[in-house]
Structure 1
């Protein structure tokens, strides 16, 4: 990638922050979208809830990457929480996509976040980008989320939707909560442990996004998951091996449902998702196996 000016929404989050640091380390100019008054030329004000963004600050950007949104697994899914999750993604995406479409000098590419929640419950069945969306809150959210990028695509801007799996990192996300438990010897399977988890190391997540930004011939949806999804039981065993801790504990499904409510369905659900298009594009994973991903974290 030649030195570029790249705008990142969600740069304070796990993935967005890692992406911004990676780009800056390689000499790229990173413009962060912020909800407060900008403190320098490298920040642009936006208010996704109100549908406003300082579009002038996006002029001259080679790429716009939107990874903003309220945390999906942070707390119980009350109706109010689900409304916030939806609006922060759908309305935020629409705001940016419309701003990008209206620029006098639009970027080469608009990369928008999405999730493997698109597929819903897949059981033991492996799915890739050719599979239809599932049913339920997360699949319906992802459909709306990706559709909200339409204005950019319709304006002729190359548009990519990254359907991210469970990111292996100590810094946040689901794994950010798992590491302390396993390190303390309190880790174990969730439910019966047979559900598939489609994971990706934070390193490969960032590298994949940069790969998709750089390749002018790639557009549409891409699954950002490691090549071999594993069951929760297999991942639990790998965590124990790498951290040298026992994994004797388990959390029964009824307890998870009582504690997490509707969110438990996502934890106990099975998503066996393959990164077919990413592999076909020539992307090479640095940490394709779970033990490597855990060690990298």
Structure 2
């Protein structure tokens, strides 16, 4: 297949490109050709602006992973705007290119996140859940999905409601490792909030599963089938590193340091990948203990 990928130099995108590149022709949108080639290899086609395209006729599929990292900076109004527009604008541009295509790609896989559900209690959440909590994370994801879904008359759309992606190359796990390695890690706040996580291998393999199964469409929770509380995650991470986990981070401290962004750490959702599992996808890393052992032994 000839595949267009946005966000190809990000945490998920880099791994996905490396896996797909052996069997498919890839075109990656990146603001820097030099950076993209250095990360992805010289044999991948790089474009620096979607404005260079008038349609998507040459592509068989589009995978849209672009977006400003949500947890990199304090949520000022300026940063909130950047987070939203980095997702919404590119997705809208892609939708317009789908509409302008005489032979549109058959598949549009577009990013989203479990933040669409907002903060929730411990009840299990599947894709049919619609009791959303109206907050910033919901606003980002709902609009993101609504824009992507405008391409449906021209292609099938799959929205990736992604959980916490675990990888040693970046993301949440890389940020957690230093204090835990020093023996000063611990739960965050009460520790009772759920962490719906997914191993980077299952994240990438799940995207490829959707790419290869034409009958699948709609929203998919990209989380492992066994979510855990933050306390359980902290204990498992410490045990994997052979370190203690007795230094909790008080909620008040996080709120002072991070402001509204602390909500991402202090609240959670117990999200289950019902549609992905029912479609026949077999998770390689369904258990947090094994997943951490696999990642940290590499």
Output the CA distance in 2 between the equivalents of 1:53 and 1:34: 12
**Structure 1 gap ranges (5+):** none
Q: Deviations over 1:54-87 (max 9, x none)?
A: 245x432111000000000001100000000000
1:20 counterpart = 2:23:
no
Instruction: Using structure 2 for the length normalisation, give the TM-score.
Output: 0.92
Q: CA deviation at 1:45?
A: 2.9
Residue 95 (structure 2) aligns with: 97
Residue number in structure 1 paired with 2:40: none
- 1:105 CA drift (Å): 2.1
1:261 to 255, 259, 262: 259
Match in the other structure for 1:124: 122
Cα deviation, residue 197, structure 1: 0.4
Deviations 1:225-250 (A, max 9, x none): 00011000000011011111111111
**Partner of 1:213 in structure 2?**
211
- Superposed displacement of residue 189, structure 1: 0.6
Assess, with a 3 A threshold, how the Cα gap between structure 1 residues 250 and 168 changes in structure 2: closer, same or farther.
same
Contact 1:33 1:43 in 2 (8 A): yes
Shift of 1:284: 0.3
Partner of 1:152: 151
- Preserved contact between residue 45 and residue 54 of structure 1 (Cα < 8 Å): no
Q: Distance in 1 between matches of 2:198 and 2:101?
A: 34
Q: Does 1:44 align with 2:43?
A: no
Cα contact 1:98–1:151 (8 A) shared by 2? no
| Bigger shift: residues 120-129 or 278-287 | 120-129
Counterparts of residues 4-83 of structure 1 (less than 5 Å)? 4-25=1-22, 27-36=23-32, 42-46=45-49, 52-55=51-54, 58-83=56-81
| Structure 1 residue matching 2:19: 3-state secondary structure | helix
Distance in 2, matches of 1:73 and 1:20, equals 23
Distance in 1 (CA, whole Å) between partners of 2:52 and 2:97 is 7
Q: CA RMSD in A?
A: 1.6
CA distance in 2, matches of 1:229, 1:41: 36
Instruction: Name the CA distance, whole Å, in 2 between partners of 1:243 and 1:88.
Output: 36
Contact 1:91-1:148 within 8 A present in 2 as well:
no
Residue 162 of structure 1: aligned partner? 160
Q: How far did 1:36 drift?
A: 4.4
Inter-partner Cα distance in structure 1 for 2:199 and 2:186: 20
Mark the runs of 5 or more structure 2 residues left unpaired by the alignment.
38-42
Q: Counterpart of 1:285? A: 283
- 1:111 is paired with a residue of what secondary structure? strand
- 1:140 corresponds in structure 2 to 139
Q: Distance in 2 between matches of 1:22 and 1:41?
A: 12
For 2:192 and 2:27, locate their aligned partners in 1 and report how far apart those are by CA, in whole Å. 42
| TM-score (ref. length: structure 1) | 0.92
